[in-house]
Amino acid sequence: MAIATVNPATGGLVKSFEAIAPPVWLGKVEGAAAAFEIYRRTTFEQRAAWLHRAAEILERDRDRLAALATLEMGKPLAAAIAEVEKCALVCRFYGDRAAAFLADEVIETDAGSSYVTHQPLGAILAVMPWNFPFWQVFRFAAPALMAGNVALLKHASNVPQVALAIEAVWAEAGLPEGVFQTLLVGADQVAAIAADPRIKAATLTGSEPAGASLGAACGAALKKVVLELGGSDPFIVTETADLAAAVRTAVVGRLLNNGQSCIAAKRFILLEAIADEFLDRLTAAFAAVRVGDPMDPAVDLGPLATAAIADELDQQVRGAIAAGAKAIIGGDRAALVAQLPEPLRGGSFYPATILTDIPEGCAARQAEFFGPVALTFRVPDFDAAIALANDIPFGLGASCWTQNPAEMHRAIADLEAGSVFINGLVKSDPRLPFGGIKRSGYGRELSRQGIQEFVNIKTVWIA
C-alpha cells in the first residue's frame, strides 16, 4: 500500500511519500535506544511539563490538525476537532497522575523493607490505525512517555501527514531528540522492526489479521504486546428503556466517525415489545442524516476512509441481502453517489443503512461492518438478548438500555466484553481502562492499568 494522502471525499491524490528504507529505520531505532538511556532518568515533573506543553500546542493548533485528519480519512470536521481536544485531555490526565499511578508500593513481608517499583521498558513500537488518527496515538503515547519509555510510531499508510504532525507536536513540546519518532514504513516492515532487540514491546490498534501478525512477531521474540482489535458491539434495548434516549444514542453510536469505530454500536438487539417503535424512530433519524463534504460543518456523514473500505462494506451489505436480509433504509451506494455534487462522486461514500431480518447462518451475524450500517435483531426476552449479544467472536464493548435493576446486574455479569455501559454510549475515557477480550484483543489502555502495561513491575526485597 502506498504511503499517501488521498482525499476520500473526492478520491484525488493529494500528496505521496517515499517509504524509508531499512537502513533509515534501523538508525531511528538506534536513536530511540540511545535516547531512552537519557530519558529514563528524567523526573515525572520534567515529563509532565512536556505533556502539558503538548496539550497547549494541540489546543492552539486544533483547527489545523483537525483539518488534516478530515482531509486524510474523511471524518466530519467537528468530530476531528473533538478528537484533537481529547488528545490534549489525555496528555494532561497522565501529566497530572502518572507519578501517583507508578508510585512505589510498600508491602509488609519478612524483609527489613520490601516494595514494588515501576520502571520503564525502553523503546515501544506503536502500530496505529487511521480511524482516530490523533487519539489512538496520544492515548498510547501519553502514558508510555510519562512512564519513561520512548516511542516509535508506525501509523496507517493513508494518514502520513497526521503522523508527521504528531511527531512535530512532541518535538515542539520539548521532548529530547529520539524520544518520539514517526516511521514512514509499509506494513511489510513491521515484523522486522518488532523483532529488533532494541524494541522492548509493541502495541497495535487495528484489524484481526494485523493483530495476529504483530502478536506472532512479538511472540517469536518473547516481547510484550497489547492489542486492541475489531468489535461488533451489541446495543440491547428492553421494554423499560428510555426509548428516545436509546434512539438518540444509537444514531451517534452507529454513525460516529462515519461508522468507522471499533467500539461503535453495530448490532442492535431489540426486545419484541419495542422493536417496531425503535426501528421506526431509528429509520427516521437515519433518513435525516446529511451526507457530503466532511469539511462542511452542516454534514453529519462523510466518506469512508478509502475506496477499498467502501467496496468491502458494499459487498458485505449485498451479501447479507442476497442471503435474505432486508435494507429498510440505505443499502444502495449508487443511488447515494448519484445525488452527490459532481466533485464528490469519486469519493468513498456509503449511505446510512439499516438491515433487518438477517437470517441464521448469514455471515453478517458474525462479521464486523466498518461503516454506517446498523444490523438489527428481534428477540423474545432478555435471556435471548444476552445469548445473541455473546454469540460473536468479538468482545470489545457492550451497551444495555433498561431501567430494571436485575437486568442491569445481569448485563454487567454476563455480557462478554471489555466494557459494559448501562443506558449510555460506549466510549473511551482516560479515567477508565479500555480494551477487549476474545478476538477483540488483550491488554488495557488508559487509566492506571494502561500506564502499567509498559513498565517493569519490579519486586524489591531488602534484608
Find out whether 85 and 78 touch, Cβ atoms under 8 Å: no
Under-70 pLDDT residues of the chain:
1
Closest to 79 in 3D by CA, of 88, 70, 90: 70
Please give the pLDDT value at position 347. 98
**pLDDT tens-digit readout, 16-55:** 999 999 999 999 999 999 999 999 999 999 999 999 999 9
Output the CA torsion 30→31→33→34 (10° steps): 120
Find out whether 432 and 447 touch, Cβ atoms under 8 Å: yes
Please give the pLDDT value at position 1. 59
DSSP state of 20: P
**Cell 442524516 -> residue:** 289
Q: Could you confirm whether 228 is annotated as catalytic? A: yes
In 10 A of CB 100, how many CB atoms? Answer: 9
What is the spatial distance between Cα 343 and Cα 13, in angstroms, rounded to a whole number?
14
**pLDDT tens-digit readout, 153-206:** 999 999 999 999 999 999 999 999 999 999 999 999 999 999 999 999 999 999
Amino acid at 243: L
Find out whether 125 and 26 touch, Cβ atoms under 8 Å: no
Please give the pLDDT value at position 231. 97
β-strands 353-356, 397-401 pairing: unpaired
Domains contained in the chain, CATH given: 3-229+440-462 (3.40.605.10), 233-429 (3.40.309.10)
In 10 A of CB 368, how many CB atoms? Answer: 24
CA angle 184, 17, 371 (to 5 degrees): 75
Q: Could you confirm whether 262 is annotated as catalytic? A: yes
Catalytic pick from 72, 83, 167, 228? 228
Closest to 259 in 3D by CA, of 231, 239, 279: 231
Catalytic pick from 218, 262, 362, 400? 262
Q: What is the pTM of this model?
A: 0.97
What single string gives the DSSP state of each residue in 56-87? Answer: HHHHHTHHHHHHHHHHHH---HHHHHHHHHHH
